[in-house]
Amino acid sequence: MSGLPMMLSLAGVPVLVVGGGAVGTRRAGRMAAAGAAVRVVDPSAGGLPGAAGVELVPRGFEAADLDGVRIVVVATADAAVNEAVAAAVATRPEPRPWLNRADEAAAGDLGFMAANAVGPMTVAVDSGGASAGEARKLAGELAASVDPDRGELLGAVARVRPLVRGLVEDPAKRRELLAAMTSPEALARLKEEGPAALDAWLGGLVGRARTPRRLAVGVKPAASDAERAG
């Protein structure tokens, strides 16, 4: 399917997964790990291994399962069931749930990209619906090719980013500063001097780039010790 790659915040989002096979279980686990409240409906769900944040319902799909749900994943091996779930979603009043179909990606509203984490960074690949297995393979190869120290560097930058936003007012200077923080020099400092030295160096960059604070109108600067003594 064609579409716009993006990251979704799923904290507390109610999700329904119809089908507890390999694909449904994998997608349920990924969404639960992202904070979603996931319910898996499958006649054989009673025999599936449980996971944190996943409720297993051992029965077939019912239209009422869609109540209050924002995302629906249909991943059964029965084409008739998949069509029935998709039809039930389509008849829901707007805003209806977003639909993901494991059997026919182009017929849904959203798709799952193959993804691997490198520190706080995500390397993701989409095959356009051609081959999920090939997408997973390529995502793994790309993630393995990334220097793991770059993930650690990004983690350090993420920790000081709130300081950058709070202390550097000029957007152009912020962009320049963040570029310096992720430069080859920054990565070399991490490799050669370690995380503590990198943190100190990043803090120094922020200190030198910070916007000088102006005194409010009518407020005089404090007198120096010499002036007070005189």
| C-alpha to C-alpha distance for 90 and 203, rounded to whole angstroms | 53
**CATH no. for residue 69?**
3.40.50.720
Same domain flag for 75 and 49: yes
Helix axes 184-193, 171-181, angle to 10 degrees: 40
**Helix/strand/coil for 78:** coil
Same domain, 60 and 105: yes
What is the distance, to the nearest Å, from the Cα of residue 131 to the centroid of all Cα atoms in its chain? Answer: 22
Q: Are residues 43 and 106 in the same domain?
A: yes
Say if residue 22 is in the same domain as residue 76. yes
**Where in the sequence is the domain holding 139, given as residue range(s)?**
113-146
The series of mean pLDDT values per 10 residues for the chain, 230 residues long, is 85 96 92 95 79 89 97 96 97 95 89 91 89 92 95 95 93 95 96 96 93 57 48
The reported pLDDT for the residue numbered 182 is: 95
Q: How far is CA 71 from the centre of its chain?
A: 16
130 shares its domain with 188: no
Q: What is the pLDDT of residues 198-222, one digit of tens each?
A: 999 999 999 999 988 654 444 444 4
Whether 216 maps to a domain, the answer reads no
Number of domains present in the structure of the chain? 3
Contact 147, 181 (CB under 8 A): no
**Helix axes of 195-209 and 171-181: crossing angle, nearest 10 degrees:** 160
The verdict on 118 and 198 lying in the same domain is no
β-sheet bridge partners, residue 71: 15, 98
What does pLDDT average to over the chain? 89
- Contact at 8 Å (CB) between 164 and 205? no
**Global pTM?**
0.78
